Every structure is written in C-alpha cells, then in structure tokens.
Structure 1
Amino acid sequence: MMGSLVKGYFAEQQGLSPEQIYHVAVMPCFDKKLEASRSDFYLDKSQSREVDLVITSAEVQKILEEKNVALGDVEPAPLDAMFSHVSGDEFLSHAGSGSGGYLHHVFTYAAKELFGEDVKELTYKTLRNKDFQEVTIERDGVVLLCFASTYGFRNIQNLVQKLKRGKSPYHFVEVMACPSGCLNGGGQVKPLPGQDPKELLQKVEKLYKAERSLTPEEDTRVAELYQSWLHSVGEERAKELLHTQYHTVQKNINGLTMKW
C-alpha cells in the first residue's frame, strides 16, 4: 500500500514520475525483501518497483555503527505529514497487536457494520499459548464473529490441520510467521550480550503500545486520499492499488548458484 502511495499519490503531488523516486522501506522482517521483489509490485509502465529497497531495523543499526553515528547525537527533524497526522513529536500506532493491528481493526469494523455492535475493547482468550489467541462476540448465546491470531510456525501448522479437517470455527485469522509477531521479527535489533530476549521484546511491546492509536476512520488524511486520489482513479483502479494477490514464485534452478 505504501508503495502505491509513494509511487502514485506522492509522485503526483511532487510532479514526478514513479521512476524518479527511490523508495526505501525499513522493516522488521528479511522476507520483506523478497516481497518487494515480486512481480506483483512492479510497475510495467514506468519500469519501476513500488518499493526499491528494503532494509531491516538491524541493518539500519549496523549502518549507524559503521558510520560511528549514535541516534541520540543526531539533530531531530520533523516528520513529513504526507499520509497521516504525524508531525513533530506526535506518533501514531495501530490498536491491537504489534503486527499492524489488522485483526483488531477488521473485528471492530465488522462488528459495527454487520451487527451494529460497538466494540470498544477486545478480550482475547489464550488457547495453546500466548501466540494462539481468539476473540469472539456473541448475541443471545450465538457467536456472531470468531477471529484468531496465530503466530509462529507450530501454531500455524496446528491451524492448517484444523482447516484441512474442516474444524476451524474462525471467520478471520491473522497469521504471522514469527512468534510474538512483527515486533519480534527476524530483522529486528538483537538483544545486547547478556540481555534476556524476552525482556527486550517486552520493552519493545511496551513502547509500541504507549503510542496513541488511531483508526483509519478517524484519520482525515485517509478520507482525503479517498476523495482526492482514489476516488478520481475509479473503483477498480483503487482496488488494484490497495489489494494484491500472491502467486507462486518460480524457482530459478541454476547449477552455478546452488549450494551443493
């Protein structure tokens, strides 16, 4: 989505073509590099990728160390306010998990739009472990919505087995490969020598949840984007810009590149 916005909306605002912009994304996950390289995110017309470069949090730290730069010594600069209300010292995050809050937002939105239920806070029920949780909403003893968050390959495998047996009760599942989700991504900054990884993760989660959350419905910039840009490009084009489909990546079998 950000690739679409940067190479589309932002480019138009700046009077530039997509190939004139070099879009760098900082991510907590190495797999985002592969994702950005997929043909699904390549703009044939401009011969440009929506995201030109992905670097992880750990790689940013490594670059700073190689340059002998400490963030605490750098003069702060105001953040751009192109796509949100972010400005100065104000930061925003998603309500819900540290993996983007998709389950939280979809659940509250569906409850309101489909059943007229205004859900203020989600209460999760832990199943096998803290990385496999579900949240439901009932009315007169009937389950209206049943969502689950499933993090880590072991939990994902258990869920897939349920799906294969037709025994999954869920309307929506948020799946993350890393235990504890994106905050514990493989590209995140590693614990210091002697530091407990769980302690670092708890610190990161606390910092993340301390930021003020904002739903898309409350963000006037989102409404502005729909009215000024997405509306003007048409419904089908808007769907194309905000959605994608994943296809099997064909393996490049080359004897020279294989690790024998």
Structure 2
Amino acid sequence: MTTDGPPNSVIGRALTLLTAFRAGDEELSLAELARRTGVPKPTAHRLLGELAGWGVVERVDGGWRLGMALFELGQRAPGQRSLREAAAPYLSDLFEATHETVHLAVPDGVEVVYVEKLTTRRGPAVGSRVGGRMPAYCTGVGKVLLAFGPPERLAAVVAAGLRRRTPRTVVAPGLLADELARIREQGLAVEHEESTVGIACVAAPVLAGGPHAVAAISITGWANRLDTGRLGPAVRTAALGLSRVLRSTMAE
C-alpha cells in the first residue's frame, strides 16, 4: 500500500514491506516494493534479506514473495484458527448443498479478511484468497459486517472513501446507510456486481452473543446464474449454526 512515507523504525519498515503484498501478488520486484512503501531500495533490499533469513519472505527470479514462515505464524493465531475449525462443518455443508464458492470472512479496519474459502470449478474465478483483503462497502461479507458492526466502523469506511469499482458499486454514503439498514432487518446481504463485474453473492452474519458480528459467511457465483433469493436461507442457516457453536463455546 502507498503511504505518505515509511515508518521511522526498522520494525515498522519491515512490516510495511510485508503488507505491501496485495491479493493476487505472487511476487513483487524490489523496485515495486520500494515504490509502494516509500522505503528506499537499498534499505528495502537489506530488510528483505534479513526477513528472508527468518523465512518470512523468499527470493525468486522476479523479486520477492511471502515465505512459508509467515503462513505458519498465521496458523498459530488462536482466534482465527478456532473460528475456522468451528466453521469447517458448516462451510462444508453449505458448499455441498450449493456447489458455489463459500467464504468465511472477518472485519479488519475498513476491509474484510478472508479466513477460509471453498472453491468450485464451475464458478467464476473470484479474486479472493485466504488471508486476502477486500473493501467492506462493496462485498457481501463486508456489508454484513458493516450492518452488524459498530457505527465507528461504517464511519471509518465512509471517511476512507467509497471508490467505484464497477458501474454498480454504491458510492453514496446515504444509499449505503439505507442498504445496511435493510440488511439488519433481513439478516442477509446481497451483492450483485458491486465489487467485480459478473459476480454476485449472498452473505449472513455470524453473531457470538454480542450485538456485533464476529464474522460473515457467503456464497459467490456467476451473477447471471446465482439465485440469491433461493440460496439465502442456506447461507443464513450455516451462519446461525456457527453462531450457536461460538456462543456455547464462550459460555463454557
């Protein structure tokens, strides 16, 4: 990501280099990493060399890619690991019932982070990936997490700007607020070609006892084929099942 300037600390600059990798970036050149982060090329080269010694990044012919050690560290994050484990049977059942791409996502700032994804060959090539990010305001899971989230989250999203990604993206704050109110009432969010042309999805919130959603479950498919009205109840059932498990776990 592009910033006004790199952090002053070594740790800050190293983390800036790591977070410069975006969804779909298999590898980045040193020049591109320096451009995205503002870290001078000599400094970036030195830091990447140290990170490579820890296995956090790897040197490849085209530049650099994230290393396996980073993936292994992510797997040790207890919150998301336990969420994925609890969600596994519900996501699997939803996948078998719909034969569409299934996502599990959590909120992080003005974006959503995908923590699980089950993919079907018959569906479109969705740009999401486990560990990847998407904007909250134009994705099904994101809109659910905004609708069932604290007001500060929506305020931050609006303040960051609602960029038009497709002709259908909602970029007016008032219209987005009206849609989120309907989502709270219906318990489902529908996205129709707002984040990506040709793709639609339907999502439901995962509630663990509090007023705010801790995660969201969705199914995604071709916009001209996905019947969100028919499949919405299946998504809601999966989200309710996971919600019950999380509530019972917290009560123990």
Q: TM bucket by the smaller chain?
A: under 0.3
Higher helix share: 2
Larger relative contact order (Cα-Cα within 8 Å, sequence gap ≥ 6): 1
Higher strand share: 2
TM-score, normalised by the number of residues in structure 1: 0.25
